[in-house]
Amino acid sequence: MSLAAPAPNFVRAAIHGTVWRYLAFFSGKLMLFFSTVILARLLTKDDFGVVGFAVTTIGFLDFMSDLGIAPALIYHPEDNNASITAFWLGLLISIGLFAITWIGAPLVGLFFNDPRAVPVTQIMAFTYPIGALGNIHQTILQKKLAFGRNFIPDVLQSIAKGMGSILLAFLGYGAWSLIGGQLSGAIIGTIGFWIVTRWRPSFTFDLKIARSLLGYGIKIVGVDLTGILLVNIDYLLVGRYLGAVNLGIYILAFRMPDLLILQFARILSGVIFPIYTRMRDVPGSLRKGFLMTTRYISLVTVPVGVGLALVARPFVLAIFTDKWSDAIPVVRAISIYAVFLSFAYNAGSVYKAGGRPEVLTWLGIARLIIVLPALFWATTVSNSIVAVGWVQAFVAFLAGILNLYVAGRLLNISSLNIFQALWPALQSALFLAGAVVITLFLLDNYATWVQLIFASFFGGVFYVGALWFFQREVVNSALLQARFALSRT
């Protein structure tokens, strides 16, 4: 079927927004990548694991950080009083959550059987009120599709986080260097959003608006709760049953697929959600937009995930040294997990834009029912972070199929149409895989950095070549739409 653009202005907004968010993403994440490489050499697996206790706990409680107020503000009609009310409501909630986390931190130490988890969790809790001071400013920019103005605060946050962590690590602060970097990034990012956003909150509060925001936001809380559980349950179980060292290895292995694949899907989802809310009133537009976005997401996430899984060994050894060799099989599994999960983000934007965020909650619960006992087995019976990774990959495969199927039913799209949207990426990825496997076989006796460079190069060449040979219409369509959007930015 045709995947013609649903409306030129929507395509322009989507590409424009994605380009700006991705510029910020890669500028900042490039810094994060280099800082991770340096920190992996300066710090121990145990350091990463101890901080993982705090990061997991803070992430686990993050679903309550604003009770869904930010997406509710995007969904809510344009109203300055709503923005002001959302700001103060979010700040009050974050302060309360900070207090609860500080007081309850000893329970974190008991859960992980490690008293070192208590102070790092208490200090990390400061990120709640710090982040709340800039959340609504960021949301206002997102609602107005002013994605370019996010660039400076996003990049500054990543630079401050990376440089702060590296500086403290050189000074010998161990695990605390990672905590210091997190706080530095949060503070600088919030200051940046206040600088680039002219909006300022006044000292007013509308109870009626607050109830309206919370009415929609509570639905998002259900989505966020299941999402947070799904994102952090593996960290919780690995940390509790396999210890800080294994958690440190797992966190590092997770970081690269998350950085290269899932962050892309999250960025595009953040751009698409407010656009989908505008498209829903244009007949047929949301349906075409979903298919188009699914196609373009897969064109990025599928080759990156397959490629990273295949070059995991030379990648880890060349970048992080053989100290982290235990992470290699985990990187392979999590790369595949990230590909399947990336498909769910686009579907989630459809549910939220259509006023049906509870669908995400039910799908998340279904995934939890499957993954929780499987992860418990992997950590307590198999006692292996590799088993944890492949359990995640298998469940993500099921979740990706289910999310696409449900979104198709809601938008009256057949499974065949969805598969046709995915096929260009899947077909071309087969050629990429063949090229990478053959290259690694031929260069088996060479240095790992040589294997990594040549395997990545030939994999990319064969992927693009296959797309051009078999799916030239898709390539031309993508180039034309990108040229149209970017020429008018």
Give the pLDDT of residue 430.
Answer: 95
Does a structural domain hold residue 27?
Answer: yes
pTM comes to: 0.71
Give the H or E element holding residue 364: helix 358-380
Give the pLDDT of residue 50.
Answer: 86
By three-state DSSP, how is residue 281 classified?
coil
Q: Print burial letters for 473-482: b (CB count within 10 Å at least 16), e (below 16).
A: ebbebbeebb
Give the pLDDT of residue 22.
Answer: 55
Does a structural domain hold residue 16?
Answer: yes
Does a structural domain hold residue 108?
Answer: yes
Does a structural domain hold residue 428?
Answer: yes
Dihedrals phi, psi of 116, to nearest 5 degrees: -65, -15
Does a structural domain hold residue 3?
Answer: no
Contact by Cβ (8 Å): 66, 79: no
Using CA atoms, how far residue 199 sits from 193, 214, 222, 271, 479, in Å, is 10, 22, 30, 21, 36
Q: Print burial letters for 328-361: b (CB count within 10 Å at least 16), e (below 16).
A: bbbbbbbbbbbbbbbbbbbbbbbbbbbeebebbb
**Domain enclosing residue 307, as ranges:** 8-486
Does a structural domain hold residue 1?
Answer: no
Rounded to the nearest 10 degrees, what angle do helices 328-353 and 312-320 cross at? 100
User: CB within 8 A of 475, min separation 6: which ones?
Assistant: 467, 468
Return d(Cα 238, Cα 235) in angstroms, integer: 5
Dihedrals phi, psi of 442, to nearest 5 degrees: -70, -25
Domain count for the chain, please give it: 1
Does a structural domain hold residue 384?
Answer: yes
Q: To the nearest 10°, report the CA torsion of 273, 347, 420, 469.
A: 50
Tokens of 152: 């400076």
Q: To the nearest 10°, report the CA torsion of 326, 332, 337, 343.
A: 140
Give the pLDDT of residue 452.
Answer: 95
Give the pLDDT of residue 336.
Answer: 95
Does a structural domain hold residue 2?
Answer: no
Residue (of 184, 214, 264) closest to 89 by Cα position: 214
List of the chain residues with pLDDT < 50: 1-8, 10-11, 485-486, 488-489
Quickly list DSSP for 77-110: PS-HHHHHHHHHHHHHHHHHHHHHHHHHHHHHHH
Contact by Cβ (8 Å): 330, 253: yes
Contact by Cβ (8 Å): 280, 351: no
